[in-house]
């Protein structure tokens, strides 16, 4: 909490009511933040003395006095311009008293408010506590001065109503608040005038600050003057009053109206200068929200009375005693304070406990003492005047109470947070919109790419299919034609040499064309792949589409593989037919010098004469061409194809290649021998086993290969193939392989013991009496 102070101004005993040193902001332009000034921060923690200001007000003679005192003059003579009051002792002598303000019987309610209460109200609006209190004999006009509502006549409005008017005009409803409580102290009981059932309100004093609070009192928010007037009416109705000889409407209680004010204050921005290496820079410290809490207490004391004059008895007597007792306590405290006594008996009564802050505390206090003119009450008037005189000696220490406004700060931060959240949401929305836009664009591009790709792909596929179908058809026709020619030549005993050569040349051309087309197709696929990558690269969101395209590509590759396999089959068929034509041609020429083990060989011999022989004449054989165009590795890989048809053709091609000595080393190095043995071991198809055995037989002519065959269990596999064989041709091939192995003396013992000879061979010269062998194997 920060305290602030405001110099009250006037000197002790000054005849003038002091006013705030600084001008107040105009009520017409209240500004909670900026219009509310704060004193220099250098004096913030100090308090300044502020003497209790006292004004005296004389009531005009009432009807009773007009009659009773008709022959007498007033007991007081006022000199308002000198702020003096003369109290007559007798006709020739008087005592003179000075007050801060002297208000004659003709002083208007407005003037009374402006000189007595307005300075206090302004101080309260500046953040100080303030008290306006009326003290005087019963019936002298305390309630008239403070509590007149002025309903019939607005000029008669008392201090309470006028104070609230000024307060409401000065505050900002948006940031400031006004709450009111209204209590009465009746016979030492503190009762809520706004809720009379609440009649045991405790008085709590803060031992540290001396602040007095009345927890439990009803606090009503005041938004406008009407609601305040309504509240005063309720309080008035609940206040205890009685008809006494002195006053038909005598208040029998002390009434206390407390107006609590909370104002938001924005501390001015401090400019801090810093110096680094002679460079001076100015930093502006951000303002921090503060709240000032102040209260205006308006106390309408019950009137002092001489019971023998007021004629009180019974309850009224008790009330009068209680009133006088509490007023006497107040007087004692005022005396003690006026004389600067160390002890002030505040605790003697509830009234003095409640007014602790107003006398000797931190409040700015203004006391109006009311007197009557009647010489019959001179004693009471004198007593009132002396009370006022002593009160003028009481010095208060005025302080502003400021607190850090956590509520306001939290409100500010909440508003800031709301703004940030809104901004963040706006940005998020715009970001999402952008993403959606990009996604849409990407999807359009992907769809376009897909469409293009599908079109291209479809076209290309159709083209390839047409081409391949054409080629296949062409080859089939060629085959049929060749077959017919072959049959025809065989029947006529004519040499088909020339026509076969033409056919071969034509087929070679077809093959080349086919190869070129395949290359072109591969290039097209590669181009499409590249295009697809290009389309899909910029968009990560197109994963699904990419996967789809990948799958299409894979399908395409698979198709291509199948087509390639088909080409190889066709080639091998072509090769086969060429070879047969060649064989036929040689037979017809009668110049055949022997044969070797080939896929279609019908004789078994160790003498190898290759169809590749044509190479010696500078002309490549179809097999050699195939070998070059397709590649050995590719051919060998087809041995493991899932398609049985492909496997058969592949093994035939390998067997034909193996018939040429020059290829044998390459076949073995490329793993061909192992693949052939694997075919013996794995495949149940007898044709495959037969052709594989033929190929092995050719490879077994080489000594190095013989060792390899033996090492890989070839002899066992061959014997197993022989034992499972149904077709004598298979046995012949196996026998040929074994015969070639037997050429190597190291393995003769092994081959002789093989199962084939002991159980199956029926060759006439076979000493082993084989059952199925129908041929002569020279090594036997
Ligand atoms: N300045 C004034 N001008 C005209 N009439 C006044 C003035 N002061 C008081 N009166 C009238 O005097 C009568 C008594 O006034 P009021 O009730 O205010 O006295 P009081 O001091 O409050 O008395 P109590 O202490 O018994 O409550 C009322 O009728 C009131 O209208």
The reply to whether 511 falls in a domain is yes
DSSP bridge partners of 251: 241
- Could you write out the DSSP letters of every residue in 169-215? HHS-TTT-EEEEEEEEEETTEEEETTSTT------EE-TTT--EE-T
3-class SS at 132? strand
Contact criterion met (CB below 8 Å) for 392 and 54: yes
Token output for 644: 């049985």
> What's the pLDDT at 623?
62
Nearest ligand 1 atom to the CA of 300 is 22
Q: Using one digit for the tens of pLDDT, what is the confidence trace for 507-558?
A: 778 778 877 887 888 888 888 878 777 766 655 555 666 677 778 888 888 8
Neighbours of 336 (CB within 10 A): 19
State how far the Cα of 769 lies from the Cα of 756, in Å rounded to an integer: 10
Question: Which has more confidence, 296 or 205?
Answer: 296
Q: What are the tokens at 727?
A: 């077709």
Answer whether residue 203 shows pLDDT above 80. Answer: yes
Q: Give 129-163 pLDDT, tens digit per residue.
A: 999 999 999 899 999 999 999 988 999 999 999 99
Lowest mean pLDDT among 19-23, 56-60, 87-91, 203-207: 19-23
Cα gap 63→8, rounded to integer Å: 41
Q: How many angstroms does the Cα of residue 761 sit away from the middle of ligand 1?
A: 155
Cα 169 to ligand 1 centre (Å): 29
**From the CB of 4, is ligand 1 less than 6 Å away?**
no
146 CA from centroid of ligand 1 (Å):
10
If one counts every other C-beta atom within 10 angstroms of the C-beta of residue 31, the result is 12
Residue 59 has pLDDT above 90, yes or no: yes
Q: How many CA atoms lie less than 13 Å away from 81 in the CB half-sphere?
A: 0
Confidence class for position 272, pLDDT limits 50, 70, 90: low
Question: Who has greater pLDDT, 651 or 289?
Answer: 651
Distance CA 411, CA 408 (A): 5
Name the token pair of 510. Answer: 């077809």
H helix count then E strand count, the chain: 24, 22
Q: For residue 644, what pLDDT band results from cuts at 50, 70 and 90? A: confident
Residues 171 and 315 in one domain: yes
Q: Are residues 50 and 113 in the same domain?
A: yes
* Ligand 1 pocket, residue 710 CB under 6 Å: no
C-alpha atoms less than 13 angstroms from C-alpha of 140 in its C-beta half-sphere? 28
Element of type H or E holding 230: helix 225-238
Ligand 1: centre distance to CA 326 (Å): 21
Question: Would you state the pLDDT for residue 767?
Answer: 44
- Return d(Cα 525, Cα 557) in angstroms, integer: 9
Residue 243, ligand 1, Cβ within 6 A: no
Q: 107: Cβ below 6 Å to ligand 1?
A: no
387 domain-assigned? yes
The number of beta carbons lying within 10 Å of the beta carbon of residue 303 is 29
- Provide, rounded to the nearest whole percent, the portion of the chain with pLDDT above 70: 73
Question: Rounded to an integer, what distance in angstroms lies between the CA atom of residue 523 and that of residue 200?
Answer: 105
CB contact at 8 A, 198 and 216 = yes
Task: Tell me which DSSP letter residue 156 carries.
Answer: G
Q: Strands 48-51 and 395-398: what pairing?
A: antiparallel
Q: Quick one: pLDDT at residue 281?
A: 56
Q: Is the CB of 373 under 6 A from ligand 1?
A: no
Same domain, 483 and 586: yes
> What pLDDT is attached to residue 582?
67
Predicted confidence band of residue 261 (pLDDT cuts 50, 70, 90): very high
- Band (310; pLDDT cuts 50, 70, 90): low
DSSP 561: H
Please give the number of the atom of ligand 1 that sits closest to the Cα of 241: 27
CB atoms within 10 A of CB 723: 15
Centre of ligand 1 from the C-alpha of residue 349, in Å: 26
Q: b vs e for 138-151, b when ≥16 Cβ sit within 10 Å of the residue's Cβ?
A: bbbbbbbbbbbbee
pLDDT given for residue 204 in this prediction: 93
* Closest atom of ligand 1 to CA, residue 105: 1
How far apart CA 630 and CA 321 sit, in angstroms, is 134
Distance in Å, CA 140 to ligand 1 centroid: 5
Residues 451 and 395 in one domain: no
Sign of the C-alpha dihedral computed for residues 100, 106, 112 and 115 taken in this order: negative
φ, ψ of residue 536 to 5 degrees: the values are -90, -20
pLDDT on residue 307: 67
Is 627 contained in some domain? no
Distance 748 CA to ligand 1 centre (A): 154
What would you report as the CA-atom Rg of the chain, rounded to the nearest whole angstrom? 64
Q: What is the pLDDT of residue 494?
A: 55
The reply to whether 283 falls in a domain is yes
Same domain, 387 and 533: no
Within a domain: 431 = no
266-286: average pLDDT: 57
Polymer length of the chain: 780
Same domain, 351 and 490: no
Contacts of 315 (CB under 8 A, 6+ apart): none
Q: Which residues make Cβ contacts (< 8 Å) with residue 392, sequence separation at least 6?
A: 12, 13, 51, 52, 53, 54, 99, 100
Let me know if residue 638 belongs to a domain.
no
What is the CA(135)–ligand 1 centre distance, in A? Answer: 12
Q: What residues are paired with 701 via a beta bridge?
A: none
The DSSP result for 456-502, as a single string, is: HHHHHHHHHHHHHHHHHHHHHHHHHHHHHHHHHHHHHT---HHHHHH
pLDDT at position 529 is 78
Interatomic CA distance for residues 103 and 84, integer angstroms: 10
In 187-303 the beta strands, taken as DSSP E runs, fall at 189-192, 204-205, 212-213, 220-221, 241-242, 250-251, 254-266, 270-276, 279-285, 289-300
231 within a domain of the structure (yes/no): yes
Q: Which of 387, 404, 421 is the last residue of a domain?
A: 404
Higher pLDDT, 542 or 506: 506
**Any ligand 1 atom below 6 A from CB of 251:** yes
- Site to probe by mutation for ligand 1, drawn from 63, 110, 144 as the one with most ligand atoms within 8 Å of Cβ, is 144
Whole-angstrom distance, CA of residue 412 vs CA of residue 355: 37
| Pocket flag, ligand 1, residue 304 (CB < 6 Å) | no
Q: pLDDT-based confidence at 585, cuts 50/70/90?
A: low
Work out the average pLDDT over 759-765: 42
Tokens of residue 133, six digits: 């209190």
pLDDT at 706: 86
Q: What is the pLDDT of residue 642?
A: 82
pLDDT digits (tens, 9 = 90+) for 661-707: 888 888 998 899 999 998 888 866 888 888 898 899 889 888 888 88
Q: 3-class DSSP state for residue 247?
A: coil
Burial class (CB in 10 A: 0-12, 13-18, 19+), 684: exposed
Looking up tokens 């305040």 gives: 228
- Which of 141, 236, 326 to mutate for ligand 1's pocket (most ligand atoms within 8 Å of CB)? 141
* 573 shares a domain with 609: no
The pLDDT value given to residue 131: 95
Q: How far apart are CA 655 and CA 142, in angstroms?
A: 138
Q: Is residue 392 domain-shared with residue 512, that is, in the same domain?
A: no
Whether residue 144 has its Cβ less than 6 Å from ligand 1: yes
Both tokens assigned to 214: 């009345």
CA-to-CA dists, residue 117 to 125, 206, 299, 397, angstroms: 12, 27, 12, 18
- What mean pLDDT do residues 704-715 have? 86
Asked if 601 and 489 sit in the same domain, the reply is no
CATH number at residue 295: 3.40.850.10
pLDDT number for residue 766: 43
Tell me: pLDDT of 750 over 70: no
ipTM > 0.85?
yes
- Domain count for the chain: 3
What distances in angstroms separate CA 708 from CA 539, 701, 765, 779, one per listed residue?
Answer: 56, 12, 30, 20
Ligand 1: centre distance to CA 370 (Å): 9
Spacing, Cα 292 to ligand 1 middle (Å): 36
Query: Which ligand 1 atom sits nearest the alpha carbon of residue 107?
Result: 1
Is the CB of residue 302 below 6 angstroms from any atom belonging to ligand 1?
yes
Same domain, 342 and 447: no
Domain of 707: which CATH number? 1.25.10.10
Question: Domain for residue 203, yes or no?
Answer: yes
Residue 597, SS3 per DSSP: coil
Q: What is the pLDDT of residue 732?
A: 83
Ligand 1 touching residue 136 (CB < 6 A): yes
Average pLDDT taken over every residue of the chain: 78
| pLDDT at position 575 | 65
Q: Which atom of ligand 1 is nearest to the CA of 144?
A: 18
- Looking at the fold, whether 486 and 389 belong to one and the same domain comes out as no
Cβ–Cβ under 8 Å, residues 495 and 519:
no
Phi-psi region of 67 (alpha: psi -120 to 50; beta: other; left: phi over 0): alpha
pLDDT tens digits, residue range 425-470?
Answer: 998 898 889 899 999 999 999 899 889 888 888 888 888 888 888 8
Q: State the distance between the two ends of the chain, measured CA to CA, in whole angstroms.
A: 125
- Residue 780's pLDDT is 30
Going 159 to 164 to 166 to 167, the CA torsion angle's sign is: positive
Ligand 1 in contact with 252 (CB < 6 A)? Answer: no
User: Is residue 536 within 6 Å of ligand 1 at its C-beta?
Assistant: no
Q: What is the pLDDT of residue 490?
A: 65
**Which of 384, 404, 424 marks a domain boundary?**
404
Half-sphere exposure of 627 (CA within 13 A, CB side): 20
Q: Which domain does 512 fall in, by range?
A: 437-592
More confident residue, 318 or 82: 82
Helix axis angle, 672-682 relative to 714-724, nearest 10°?
40
Q: Give dist(CA 578, CA 648) in Å, integer.
A: 17
Residues 699 and 705 sit within 8 Å (Cβ to Cβ): yes
Find the mean pLDDT for residues 731-757. 65
Residue with token string 């082993």: 768
- 580 or 441: which carries more pLDDT confidence? 441
Last residue of a domain, which of 360, 389, 404?
Answer: 404
Smallest CA-to-CA distance from 86 within 70, 71, 104 is with: 104
Report the separation in Å between the CA atom of 58 and the middle of ligand 1, taken as the mean of its atom positions: 10
Q: Which two tokens stand for residue 256?
A: 């206390």
Q: Are residues 676 and 705 in the same domain?
A: yes
Ligand 1 pocket, residue 137 CB under 6 Å: no
- Helix 543-589, helix 406-492: angle, nearest 10: 10
Quick one: 152 exposed, middle or buried, by C-beta within 10 A (0-12, 13-18, 19+)? Answer: exposed
SS3 80: helix
Q: Which residues contact 756 (CB under 8 A, 6 or more apart)?
A: 718, 719, 722, 723, 731, 734, 735, 738, 770
């Amino acid at each position: 909490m920060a305290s602030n102070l405001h110099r009250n101004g006037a000197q002790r005993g000054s005849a003038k009511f002091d006013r705030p040193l600084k001008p107040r902001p105009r009520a017409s332009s209240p500004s909670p933040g900026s219009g509310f000034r704060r004193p220099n921060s250098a004096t913030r923690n100090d308090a300044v003395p502020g003497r209790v200001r006292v004004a005296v007000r004389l009531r005009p003679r009432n009807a009773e006095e007009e009659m009773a005192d008709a022959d007498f003059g007033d007991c007081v003579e006022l000199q308002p311009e000198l702020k003096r009051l003369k109290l007559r002792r007798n006709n020739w002598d008087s005592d003179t008293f000075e007050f801060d303000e002297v208000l004659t019987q003709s002083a208007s309610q407005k003037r009374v408010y402006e000189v007595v209460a307005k300075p206090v109200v302004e101080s309260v609006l500046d953040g100080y506590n303030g008290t306006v209190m009326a003290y005087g004999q019963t019936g002298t006009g305390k309630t008239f001065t403070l509590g007149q509502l002025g309903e019939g006549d607005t000029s008669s409005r008392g201090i309470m109503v006028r104070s609230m008017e000024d307060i409401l005009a000065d505050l900002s409803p948006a940031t400031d608040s006004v709450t009111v409580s209204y209590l009465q102290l009746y016979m030492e009981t503190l009762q809520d005038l706004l809720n009379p059932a609440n009649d045991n309100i405790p008085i709590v004093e803060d031992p540290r600050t001396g602040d007095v609070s009345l927890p439990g009192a009803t606090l009503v928010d005041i938004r406008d003057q009407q609601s305040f007037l309504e509240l005063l009416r309720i309080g008035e109705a609940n206040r205890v009053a009685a008809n006494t000889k002195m006053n038909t409407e005598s208040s029998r209680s002390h009434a206390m109206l407390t107006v609590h004010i909370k104002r938001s204050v924005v501390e001015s921005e401090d400019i801090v200068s810093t110096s680094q290496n002679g460079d001076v820079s100015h930093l502006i410290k951000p303002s921090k929200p503060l709240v000032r809490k102040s209260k205006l207490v308006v106390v309408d004391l019950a009137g002092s009375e001489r019971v023998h004059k007021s004629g009180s008895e019974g309850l009224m007597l008790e009330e009068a005693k209680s009133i006088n007792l509490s007023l006497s306590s107040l007087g004692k405290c005022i005396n003690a304070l006026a004389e600067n006594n160390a002890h002030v008996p505040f605790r003697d009564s509830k009234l003095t406990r409640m007014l602790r802050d107003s006398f000797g505390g931190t409040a700015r206090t203004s006391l109006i003492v009311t007197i009557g003119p009647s010489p019959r009450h001179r004693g009471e008037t004198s007593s009132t005047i002396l009370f006022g005189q002593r009160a003028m000696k009481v010095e208060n220490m005025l302080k502003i109470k400021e607190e850090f406004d956590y509520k306001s700060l939290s409100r500010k931060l909440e508003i800031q947070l709301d703004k940030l959240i809104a901004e963040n949401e706006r940005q998020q929305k715009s970001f999402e919109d952008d993403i959606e836009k990009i996604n849409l664009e990407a999807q359009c591009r992907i769809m376009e790419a897909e469409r293009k790709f599908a079109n291209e792909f479809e076209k290309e596929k159709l083209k390839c299919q047409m081409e391949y179908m054409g080629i296949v058809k062409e080859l089939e026709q060629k085959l049929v034609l060749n077959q017919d020619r072959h049959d025809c030549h065989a029947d006529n005993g004519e040499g088909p040499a020339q026509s076969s050569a033409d056919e071969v040349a034509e087929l070679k051309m077809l093959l080349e064309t086919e190869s070129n087309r395949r290359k072109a197709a591969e290039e097209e696929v590669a181009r499409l792949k590249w295009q697809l990558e290009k389309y899909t690269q910029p968009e990560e969101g197109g994963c699904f589409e990419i996967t789809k395209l990948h799958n299409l590509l894979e399908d395409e590759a698979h198709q291509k593989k199948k087509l390639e396999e088909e080409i190889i089959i066709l080639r091998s068929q072509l090769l086969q037919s060429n070879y047969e034509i060649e064989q036929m041609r040689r037979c017809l020429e009668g110049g055949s010098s022997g044969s070797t083990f080939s896929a279609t060989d019908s004789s078994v011999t160790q003498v190898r004469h290759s169809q590749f022989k044509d190479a010696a004449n500078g002309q490549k054989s179809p097999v050699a061409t195939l070998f070059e165009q397709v590649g050995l590795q590719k051919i060998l890989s087809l041995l493991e194809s899932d398609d049985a048809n492909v496997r058969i053709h592949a093994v035939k091609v390998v067997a034909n290649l193996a018939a040429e000595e020059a290829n044998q080393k390459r076949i073995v190095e490329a793993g061909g021998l192992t693949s052939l043995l694997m075919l013996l071991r794995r495949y149940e198809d007898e044709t495959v086993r037969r052709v594989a055995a033929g190929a092995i037989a050719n490879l077994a002519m080489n000594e190095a290969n013989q060792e390899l065959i033996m090492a890989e269990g070839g002899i066992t596999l061959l014997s197993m193939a022989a034992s499972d064989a149904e077709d004598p041709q298979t046995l012949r091939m196996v026998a040929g392989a074994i015969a070639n192995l037997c050429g190597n003396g190291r393995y003769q013992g092994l081959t002789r013991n093989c199962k084939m000879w002991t159980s199956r061979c029926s060759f006439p010269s076979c000493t082993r009496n084989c059952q199925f062998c129908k041929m002569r194997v020279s090594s036997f």
